[in-house]
Chains A and B, each alone.
Chain A
């Protein structure tokens, strides 16, 4: 009782957040029972018929849903790999810039695309990638290439999605690497210098190993995103022409569950994704803790 008296203001402080979490996180989790129902909005959760795992069976039997899972994995894995490697390399290059003003100028510009939404960037990309006179195809034309159907051809669409995502996020991704670079003890470089090591040797033997712990953290934490291929981006770039190779789990859930009203199937696909993602996130956090002593909470 004395505990409660002393700590009630602290409980009170968490209370508002808890109410919101209950309403908008935990209640929808309970709503996921729809995945096991033939959900009819008119009948509600209590009235709709239970169908067991039928919706999940459908998920693994329908050809389009299997294709969607494959698309998601392919796009997400490529994004994870390149969104680790490009910032890693870019941070090392940027770290060699000695003029602080120039360095800050570069940093300011490369962080920027992260803060613009895929609606804005989608609008811009659709324009500059268009085949009738888009800026990029005009530029390719000077070299006698093209026109390339970046957003209208399935294979090119995947390529475009991956490259434009790297373009948007690589700058932001360098922030943690730059912070780690700033923490390297300068005496390591001085000692290597005395031993006559070239800058290339110093990079290989000091810089790269120093960045490995944070690279491991970034890489393992990204594992949890293996089923997130980027809803905002795909939704704003795709069109019926590239549906087969560009459709991902999240866009599929939106179209089947909300637009077509097949709520049971939509929920099942979403739940499947949530469960796998949660398992992966837990594994990746454990790994990050073991490998690099990383803790989030």
Chain B
């Protein structure tokens, strides 16, 4: 009945407006960047652009795409994201299966669980980690971007909790039919794990695409930087000197519209995959967090 009272209706109108404003607030900064990137240089430098392009032009994007350093960093990021995600997914998928068993069904499960848990709550800190990368001769190698984060404990736990939700009868039937553990995992568990795999993929893709600090730490030359590190250096640090670029490219990078274009291209892959995977990650996240 409360739906019809005057006070609730007033609240309801206020609530719709409020939610609309809050939602818009979350994308207005991005809209602004897009508008700046599509505006003429003079309009952007004169702070005339707010949420709509002024003197529309795609010049900034043309310049960005013609910048070999930028394109190369995209290539490194794509390679890193694809290989890193594949590796993380495989490792999480394999480890989650034994971990999802009860201790009685798999002796040693608790020992493994504690090894994972301890690694999750404690770490040696940044400096010993840095030294370890040096000692393993990974400095300046592509592997330094992919291998150290290959085991994602949080995602392994998500996968493990998902496996626990799969009816045990399914597994038992397969084992009775004579399939081994690997066979059972790949031909019985894999097909029903699509929502979990979609969730893990989204998190892993976003993680790798967004990672910038390891590039800054472990890469010897800017030409090895993934896109996020490249953007960090040119836009945040505005440090053109380390990038050893010719004066023409430097001038181009320091332009406001080009900066905006680069930021927008950097955000684009996340913007594109996110809506498709949204329904999965909400489910996956809830499986992982709200558990009785």
Could you list which residues of chain A lie within 8 angstroms of chain B, going by C-beta atoms? 3, 7, 9-11, 13-14, 16-18, 20-21, 23-32, 34, 41, 90, 93-94, 96-97, 102, 105-106, 108-113, 115-117, 119-128, 132-135, 138, 167, 171, 175-176, 179-180, 193, 198-199, 202, 214, 224, 231-232, 235-236, 250, 253-254, 257-258, 263, 266-267, 269-271, 273-275, 277-278, 281-282, 293-297
Contact = CB atoms under 8 A, between A and B. Distances in A.
B278 interface: yes
B188 interface: no
Name which of A24, A93, A250, A270 has the most chain B CB atoms within 10 A of its CB.
Answer: A24
Given A24-B148, A116-B267, A124-B263, A32 B157 contact: no
B115 A106 contact: no
A180 B290 contact: yes
B25 interface: yes
List 7 A-B pairs, minimum CB-CB distance, nearest first: A270-B125, A31-B128, A133-B47, A117-B210, A28-B124, A9-B181, A25-B119
Interface stretch (B13-21, B60-68, B78-86, B165-173): B13-21
Given A16-B94, A29-B128, A199-B8, A10 B181 contact: yes
18 contacts: A9-B181, A10-B106, A17-B95, A17-B116, A21-B119, A24-B129, A28-B124, A28-B128, A108-B278, A109-B27, A116-B210, A120-B263, A123-B259, A124-B29, A127-B32, A175-B282, A198-B8, A297-B157
Interface of B: 1-2, 5, 7-8, 11-12, 15-16, 18-20, 22-27, 29-30, 32-33, 36, 46-47, 50, 91-92, 94-95, 97-99, 101, 106-108, 112-113, 115-117, 119, 121-132, 136, 147-151, 156-157, 160, 180-182, 185, 206, 209-213, 217, 228, 231-232, 235-236, 256, 259-260, 263, 266-267, 270-271, 274-275, 278, 282, 285-286, 289-292
Contacts of A269: 125
- Chain A facing B: main interface SS: helix
Contacts of A18: 112, 115
A10 B124 contact: no
A112 B26 contact: yes
A29 B124 contact: yes
B127 A263 contact: yes
B236 A193 contact: no
B128 A119 contact: no
B66 to A, nearest CB: 21
Nearest to A30: B124
Nearest to A264: B127
Contacts of B33: 124, 127
B108 A293 contact: no
A13 to B, nearest CB: 4
A134 B29 CA distance: 11
A18 B47 CA distance: 54
B123 to A, nearest CB: 6
A84 B284 CA distance: 21
B24 to A, nearest CB: 7
A90 B22 contact: yes
A121 to B, nearest CB: 8
A123 B126 contact: no
Contact of A202 (B2, B130, B282, B290): B2
B157 A296 contact: yes
A253 B20 CA distance: 41
Contacts of B125: 28, 32, 253, 266-267, 269-271, 273-274
A105 B19 CA distance: 10
A232 B232 CA distance: 11
Given A28-B129, A124-B30, A199 B136 contact: no
Nearest to B271: A112
Given A3-B107, A124-B263, A253 B132 contact: no
A132 B12 CA distance: 39
Given A32-B128, A112-B26, 15 more contacts: A9-B181, A14-B98, A14-B112, A16-B91, A24-B149, A24-B151, A106-B20, A109-B23, A115-B274, A119-B232, A123-B259, A127-B256, A128-B32, A202-B2, A277-B121
A94 to B, nearest CB: 6
Nearest to A122: B236
A31 B126 contact: no
A189 B126 CA distance: 51
A294 to B, nearest CB: 7
A26 B151 CA distance: 13
Given A14-B98, A175-B282, A274 B122 contact: yes
B19 A17 contact: no
Contact of A109 (B24, B107, B270, B290): B24
A106 B19 contact: yes
A257 B263 contact: no
A123 B112 CA distance: 42
Given A31-B131, A297-B157, A119 B119 contact: no
A122 to B, nearest CB: 5
